[in-house]
Structure 1
Amino acid sequence: MAKDLLFEIGLEEVPARFIRAAMNQMKEKTEKWLNDSNISYTAVEAYATPRRLAVIVKEVAEKQEDIHEEVKGPSRKIAQDENGNWSKAALGFARSQGVDPDQFTFKEVGGVEYIYVNKSRIGVQTAEVLPEGLLQVITSMSFPKNMRWGAHDFKFVRPIKWIVALFGKDIVNLEIAGVKAGKISRGHRFLGTEVEISEPSAYVETLRKQYVIVDVNERQELITSQIKALAEEKKWKIGVKDDLLEEVLFLVEWPTALFGTFDPSFLNIPQDVLITSMREHQRYFPVLNEQGQLLPYFVTVRNGNKDSLDIIARGNEKVLRARLSDAKFFYEEDQKMAIKDAVSKLESIVFHEELGTVGDKVRRIRSIADRLAERLQVSAGTSESVSRASDICKFDLVTQMVYEFPELQGVMGEDYARKAGESEEVAKAIFEHYQPRFSGDDVPASMVGTIVSIADKMDTIVGTFSIGIIPTGSQDPYALRRQAAGIVQMMLEHKLSITLGEVFQIALDAHKNFHELKRSDEEIRKDLYEFFGLRVKKTLSEDLRYDVVDAVIASGFDDIVSVVARGQSLMKAVQGTDDFKTTVESFNRVSNLASKASFTTVTQELFAQDEEAKLYEAWKSVSGAYEQALSERKAEEALHLLASLKPAITEFFDNVMVMAEDEKVRMNRLALLASIDRDLKQYADFSKLVW
């Protein structure tokens, strides 16, 4: 007969950002222990609030499953010497299995004798192993930060205040850090009381009566439905960001949404400032009209019931008024500082001890951006804006507003620059040069913003690579992967006619003019290509098959726009008619023999058969157009031109013996194939395609 298992750890309030991961971790570790212990069950349900982590395991078997298994060991030749004595390998195998060598048996597998051990273990009652198992689940959990309390050596995310551990209706004999398991849980800190959980199936409803909703999904649905109802009632648009919703979700046990208001005069401050202040400091949801403009209201979620909501709203309004007053003060004070004075203060901010100050970085950005603008042949006006935007792109880092709200860098720069009389193009570029800020974010819309953004990100990447700081594993403290992905995204979106190699060299030159590189250009460029290659591959993999990605990457990715275009066209062809498969087969026949060629110069006078001349003429007739199509990034047209060679290639292989006895004829035929293969390889390595 099966029973349900309830395991709840009651805690002091846990930081909201830790809770979901902790809940999932507790579930996974419980499942692993049950599986490793051969205890059957049907499902594990996880629950969490700011004050508790819990799992309910459905239909847990009352007894471990019996184990009967046959374990294979080393071969008899290794296990015994010529006198029949057991070797160290055999004795080690016996120890590892907890048996005596006398229990070994021999069995022949594939003509070789191996030693085997037959092991049996009778399962014990689940109740007997639960205390040790649940203790193992808790002690194996890890957190970004741990605490110790009292005289206990035990560390956990927060001090444990109570434990509920029930197997059916029976208490599991468990103690952690001086706290014994029982049936008593605790309700809402202010609205609830201590309560007895009679059995696991009663857990959720018993705590609901004590103003605690332990089901995370139910609590989230309640929050979103209340906010939605408020928006419909007031005809508002309430800005609900996922990260803020996640935080609020784990700040409350009994959520109740309410709204408040603030002085409309604060709306003279930029909307982003107000929204950031509300979200980051107060965990409030901003209220907008249908046009997306901020209204003088806010929505918050109380950890409690609907009693005295008007008093709660007034208290929140008072706190928000103070926050917005601070923001207004910072905003007004910042505008009293001239941009040139702000820029001069960047000289005192260290960017990196080996790469200089932020002022040094700005000068490198200007150098890189100017050369990019020249290489991209932008207009004189755009080039002038690029220079000015580069010079002042970081000035808002020294403002009080950005000091208070770092996430507003660029936002405040754009606003202050516009108010200081900078051109619209320059002001916008100050904001845009931080884009894309995260995966899925927009890229800069303007060419000025795009060039300055690439210059800024490439300066950081090349600078850190030049001093040996290269992301490894999960370590990426300077967010270089995100910045590299942003560069790839911008080059694609704007179809920039510049290669990665050119951008690398421009950035390297800028760094060499400012400081001595610790590593050689060649080493840095090699690492940069490898690093960006992974970013390009990831971009391609979002829409293309892995073999198509491998095929086009093998032909080079220096021109990002080209490799993506080639990948998309090749994917379309691969998914098309079966005829393309035979086309690729003909390409691969060319490539297989081309590898035997020692040169690519073709002598027409050495053609011994008409099919050689026909293939040569077919190739020459498309080669020029093919090269032009590739240079213009017309990937579909280029692939069509290559595919047109198929009849001539097929006829050639059907009628011509490539490896002729006459060496000159043979080498000439190989040279012809090598010339064609050289063109094929510019598009893709077709041999990597999988059918």
Structure 2
Amino acid sequence: MQYLLEIGLEDMPAHVVTPSLQQFADKTAAFLHDQQLAFDDIQQYATPRRLALLINGLAAQQADRAEDLRGPAKKIAQDADGNWTKAAIGFTRGQGMTVDDIEFKEVKGTEYVFLHKEIAGKQAADILPGLVDVIKGLTFPTRMKWARYDFEFIRPIHWLVSLLDDQVVPMQILDVQAGRTTQGHRFLGHAVELQHAADYVEALRAQQVIVTPAERKAMITDQIKAIAAQHDWQVDPDADLLEEVNNLVEYPTAFAGSFDAKYLAIPEIVLITSMKDNQRYFYARDRGGKMVNAFIGVRNGNAEHIENVIAGNEKVLTARLEDAAFFYQEDQQHTIADYVGRLSNVSFHDKLGSLADKMARVQTIAGVLAQHFGLNAQDATDLQRAAGIYKFDLVTGMVGEFAELQGTMAAHYAQLAGENANVVTALGEQYMPTSAEGPLPTSRVGMLLAMADKLDTLMSFFAVDMIPSGSNDPYALRRQAYGIVRMLATHKQALPLRQLQNELVAQLQAADQLAGRDYSHNIDAVNDFFQDRIKQLLQGEQVSYDIIDAVTATADPDVSAEISAAQVLTTAAQQADFKEHMEALTRVIRITNKNTMSGTVNPDLFENDSERELHAAVSQLADFDGRTTANNFARLTNLAPVINAYFDATMVMAKDEQVRTNRLRELNQLASYINVFGDLTQVQTQRN
């Protein structure tokens, strides 16, 4: 059997279409599995106006199944005379059966009541209406209400198709009842009744709707290639733009347009932004790689009256380019210093001062980072220069008109003003990464500028108690913290974050840049925030949860150290002697967690050779900081026989207080090395 389920909507935002379709398919598959309704596969279809699934090879009904249901023990089910009790009668009645159906079976020496129940599978037609809850359960980044309803969805629902082969499966959402009528192209088609679920793709093709995303994308790609070949152009096959355009149209027709060559004097990035980001056009280059005054757009429709479409698009683009040319010329009438001076009047946040205040803090933070990262004198100077001007483009006309060019225009204008390459690159990299997995800064100065900016943002918002909770994160603090974690992980830089924060607070205080705000009171919350981002990174690398919990159980997060520890533990966990090694090390940890004891160990108080051997071994760990994580862990695990021998021969909690204290000092010293790897008691020693 085939089952078609289509949700007809007002046009969805392009970026929502693909993930929503996949979510719809995944949740539908999960529903069918839960209902034990077999199927072969699910084909996915989508346009801006619809999300649809065609389920192939759907079973007509659930498989029949048998269950043996256990009830009360026999001594509870029958009284002393063998009569059935209320417990037995109630149990059978609840299953739609009688006491005559009872049989007894022994389980671990006790007899229990059992019922053998044959359950007939439900018909698919009786199960599928439940998919209405799948539709209602779809989640979206934004939702809306319409008419008088409280129900929320990505866009208003206008029609539903629910067709099992040639029969309508009834369901209803608000006032929309499912049927067999779907809608063709808004301008080129009309409503069409589907006679069978299998007719869906071709019936809509006849109404100028290509419902298969891959087919639509192939049409766009082929049309662009044909236009490029006709004009001898090179066209960047931008995957993200192609995906977006594909989700904006139901029947694509590509076309070429042009603009006045005088606008080629505008920086390429501005032209590209105007065409790609603002108008969803593909830009073109000649065979030499030089940008040409042309673009390729994609129409939602056929080629009829395409000349009018081209003229309209050229007019819109020309207006944007005219604005860009004006702002580009106007911006160059002022110096970087002029723009920096204006930042005192631009608010970063009403609780956190101006953009000038933020840049001053970032300069201080950047200076501290330069020392930690060992920048040479020139790079440190360049970092200070970049940090002192990096937000200047926010008050330029170009960024005011094209906000997506912030940072990019800072770099461009800085280059025009004669700033050195280090500073220019850093300004262009200041916002990186701009998404969770986006590209990181490639330059050392750019990385530290981006890191300093993000650290200031995090510490500042936490200082005024604006801490993300649940899904609420209006200032993208999670993304910024994750960006810092990724940068530290990539550069393998040791940087204990609590220690760094304390140092930054002291430096900001000394520079009188805190404006009365308490940057210390939420340091614990900032640390927890960073630990969650480190966990996110390790989860993405498929590290097991117990190891993640172990290595992140530290009071002072150090990204590089925790990642190294996770990698070492993950490798060690595959070894046959892992369980033995971990049991020895965690035995030390469990004792010292309950008995903290510091001080110098006195060898004169040793009472057996195992104490002397352990002391000699622990003494050799004194160079722990100079070794690699893998080497240090190997040295610790090599101590397992020594540790086991020690515990076999030594009573740690001796009656003599001096001896007991001495032994606890020894174990605490050893524990200090083990704890470098986190809380190893959380690591599971039985691996799959």
User: TM-score, normalising length from structure 2?
Assistant: 0.82
1:173-252 to 2 correspondences below 5 Å: 182-227=179-224, 237-252=234-249
User: What is the alpha-carbon distance in structure 1 between the residues aligned to residue 564 and residue 467 of structure 2?
Assistant: 29
SS at match of 1:55: strand
Report Cα offsets for 1:172-199 as digits up to 9, x if no partner. Answer: 5667666665544333334434444221
Tell me which of 245, 250, 267 is aligned to 2:264.
267
User: What is the alpha-carbon distance in structure 2 between the residues aligned to residue 178 and residue 528 of structure 1?
Assistant: 48
User: What is the alpha-carbon distance in structure 2 between the residues aligned to residue 375 and residue 38 of structure 1?
Assistant: 59
SS at match of 1:260: strand
Match for residue 672 of structure 2? Answer: 678
User: What is the alpha-carbon distance in structure 2 between the residues aligned to residue 250 and residue 112 of structure 1?
Assistant: 64
Match for residue 81 of structure 2? Answer: none
User: What is the alpha-carbon distance in structure 2 between the residues aligned to residue 675 and residue 48 of structure 1?
Assistant: 63
Q: CA RMSD in A?
A: 4.5
Indicate yes or no: 2:632 matched with 1:638.
Answer: yes
Shift of 1:216: 2.2
Tell me which of 337, 347, 351 is aligned to 1:350.
347
* Maintained 8 Å contact 2:194/2:203: yes
Shift of 1:102: 11
Indicate yes or no: 2:511 matched with 1:535.
Answer: no
Match for residue 516 of structure 1? Answer: 516
SS at match of 2:11: coil
User: What is the alpha-carbon distance in structure 2 between the residues aligned to residue 357 and residue 494 of structure 1?
Assistant: 32
Indicate yes or no: 2:438 matched with 1:441.
Answer: yes
User: What is the alpha-carbon distance in structure 1 between the residues aligned to residue 156 and residue 209 of structure 2?
Assistant: 20
User: What is the alpha-carbon distance in structure 1 between the residues aligned to residue 265 and residue 480 of structure 2?
Assistant: 34
Indicate yes or no: 2:368 matched with 1:368.
Answer: no
Match for residue 304 of structure 1? Answer: 301
SS at match of 2:441: coil
Unaligned ranges ≥5, structure 1:
none
1:281-360 to 2 correspondences below 5 Å: 281-288=278-285, 294-306=291-303, 312-360=309-357
User: Closer, same or farther in 2 for the Cα pair 1:563/1:39, shift >3 Å?
Assistant: closer
Aligned AA (1:605): D
* Maintained 8 Å contact 1:368/1:506: no
Report Cα offsets for 1:515-557 as digits up to 9, x if no partner. Answer: 3336x72x41111111111222333444473344444434665
User: What is the alpha-carbon distance in structure 2 between the residues aligned to residue 124 and residue 487 of structure 1?
Assistant: 54
Report Cα offsets for 1:625-647 as digits up to 9, x if no partner. Answer: 334x15xxx33443455456566
User: Closer, same or farther in 2 for the Cα pair 1:232/1:583, shift >3 Å?
Assistant: farther
User: What is the alpha-carbon distance in structure 1 between the residues aligned to residue 495 and residue 103 of structure 2?
Assistant: 68
User: Closer, same or farther in 2 for the Cα pair 1:239/1:614, shift >3 Å?
Assistant: same
Shift of 1:398: 1.5
User: What is the alpha-carbon distance in structure 2 between the residues aligned to residue 680 and residue 142 of structure 1?
Assistant: 44
Match for residue 386 of structure 2? Answer: 389
Match for residue 601 of structure 1? Answer: 600
Report Cα offsets for 1:199-224 as digits up to 9, x if no partner. Answer: 11121122223322112233234334
SS at match of 1:448: helix
Match for residue 52 of structure 1? Answer: 50
User: What is the alpha-carbon distance in structure 1 between the residues aligned to residue 245 and residue 59 of structure 2?
Assistant: 37
User: Closer, same or farther in 2 for the Cα pair 1:326/1:496, shift >3 Å?
Assistant: same
* Maintained 8 Å contact 1:47/1:53: yes
**% of aligned pairs identical?**
38
Match for residue 432 of structure 1? Answer: 429
Match for residue 8 of structure 1? Answer: 6
User: What is the alpha-carbon distance in structure 1 between the residues aligned to residue 52 and residue 542 of structure 2?
Assistant: 42
Match for residue 561 of structure 2? Answer: 562
User: Closer, same or farther in 2 for the Cα pair 1:7/1:506, shift >3 Å?
Assistant: same
SS at match of 2:669: helix
User: Closer, same or farther in 2 for the Cα pair 1:331/1:115, shift >3 Å?
Assistant: farther
User: Closer, same or farther in 2 for the Cα pair 1:488/1:24, shift >3 Å?
Assistant: closer
SS at match of 1:679: helix
User: What is the alpha-carbon distance in structure 2 between the residues aligned to residue 77 and residue 457 of structure 1?
Assistant: 69
* Maintained 8 Å contact 1:533/1:557: no
Indicate yes or no: 2:411 matched with 1:450.
Answer: no
User: Closer, same or farther in 2 for the Cα pair 1:235/1:438, shift >3 Å?
Assistant: farther
Shift of 1:117: 9.4
SS at match of 1:475: coil
Match for residue 553 of structure 1? Answer: 552
User: What is the alpha-carbon distance in structure 2 between the residues aligned to residue 219 and residue 292 of structure 1?
Assistant: 28
User: What is the alpha-carbon distance in structure 1 between the residues aligned to residue 73 and residue 338 of structure 2?
Assistant: 80
User: What is the alpha-carbon distance in structure 2 between the residues aligned to residue 94 and residue 363 of structure 1?
Assistant: 77
Shift of 1:283: 0.7
User: What is the alpha-carbon distance in structure 1 between the residues aligned to residue 29 and residue 542 of structure 2?
Assistant: 36
SS at match of 1:514: coil
Report Cα offsets for 1:55-86 as digits up to 9, x if no partner. Answer: 33335555677788677789999999xxx998
* Maintained 8 Å contact 1:339/1:392: yes
Aligned AA (2:533): R
User: TM-score, normalising length from structure 1?
Assistant: 0.81
Shift of 1:396: 1.0
Shift of 1:113: 9.6
* Maintained 8 Å contact 2:71/2:114: yes
User: What is the alpha-carbon distance in structure 1 between the residues aligned to residue 438 and residue 289 of structure 2?
Assistant: 19
Aligned AA (1:347): S
User: Closer, same or farther in 2 for the Cα pair 1:17/1:580, shift >3 Å?
Assistant: closer
Aligned AA (1:534): D
Q: What count of residue pairs does the alignment treat as equivalent? A: 674
Report Cα offsets for 1:356-409 as digits up to 9, x if no partner. Answer: 222322222223223433555544443433333222211111222212222211
User: What is the alpha-carbon distance in structure 1 between the residues aligned to residue 634 and residue 134 of structure 2?
Assistant: 60
Shift of 1:350: 2.6
User: Closer, same or farther in 2 for the Cα pair 1:55/1:401, shift >3 Å?
Assistant: same
User: What is the alpha-carbon distance in structure 2 between the residues aligned to residue 242 and residue 26 of structure 1?
Assistant: 23
Shift of 1:47: 2.0
User: Closer, same or farther in 2 for the Cα pair 1:443/1:9, shift >3 Å?
Assistant: closer
Report Cα offsets for 1:216-261 as digits up to 9, x if no partner. Answer: 2332343345445666777755334444223212211122334334
User: What is the alpha-carbon distance in structure 1 between the residues aligned to residue 172 and residue 9 of structure 2?
Assistant: 15
Unaligned ranges ≥5, structure 2:
79-83
Match for residue 488 of structure 2? Answer: 491
Shift of 1:4: 2.7
